[in-house]
Structure 1
């Protein structure tokens, strides 16, 4: 139940962030918006870590250096979301975003990339993603 709640909150906040960032970028530019968003996200995360007083920082040396670059993806995510919302609107942008996420997760699960246990993808999963694609095509018209 908690996992579903957090997923719902994450999805809602991705949408809110995308809309807010699009509005900000109209005044100052997309990369400037990405910088501000990254910075404010860093500050909030740092405050939470300080408030919770989590000592897991000591385990940082156990993380593969390649994975430490994942925060850089956020700048690309923000830029892509803002540009997409400006061109095609919020509904279509988020719909395509979800399809892209699911498609990549199918590959990650199916291939067992990044140390994730392999999952067998069956027909119902492919039918589900196909239905989403058809839904986006319908939304487009």
Structure 2
């Protein structure tokens, strides 16, 4: 239940962030917006981390350098979302984003990449993503 709640909140806030960033980018530019978003996100998480007094910093050296690129992906996510919203609107952007996420997660889960537990993809999963793709095509009409 908790996982679903956090996933729902995350999805809602990704949408709100995309809309806000799209509006900001009209005034100052897309890369400038991505910079501000990353900076304010860093400040907010740093404040929360300091308030929680989490002492796991010592484990930082155990993180593989490849995984440290995750934050850099955020800049590309912001730029891509803002640009897509300008071209195709919020609904189609979020729909396409979800399909892209599901497609990549199929590969990650199905192959066990990044040390995740390998999942067997069955017909219902493929039908589900197919239905989402059809839904986006219908939205596009």
- Sort the TM-score into its range (normalised by shorter chain): over 0.9
Tell me, in whole angstroms, the C-alpha distance in 2 between the residues paired with 1:58 and 1:49: 14
What is the TM-score with the length of structure 2 in the denominator?
0.99
Counterpart secondary structure, 2:59: helix
Residues 8-51 of structure 1 show CA distances to partners (whole Å, capped at 9, x for unaligned) of 00000000000000000000000000000000000000000000
**Aligned residue runs from structure 1 range 1-141, under 5 A:** 1-141=1-141
Distance 1:122 1:74 in 2: 31
1:69 positional shift: 1.6
User: Take 2:107 and 2:132, find their aligned partners in 1: how far apart are those partners?
Assistant: 17
> Aligned-residue CA RMSD in angstroms?
0.4
Instruction: Give the 4+ runs in structure 1 shifted more than 6 A.
Output: none
Moved more, 15-24 or 66-75: 66-75
Rounded to whole Å, the distance in 1 between the matches of 2:126 and 2:80 is 26
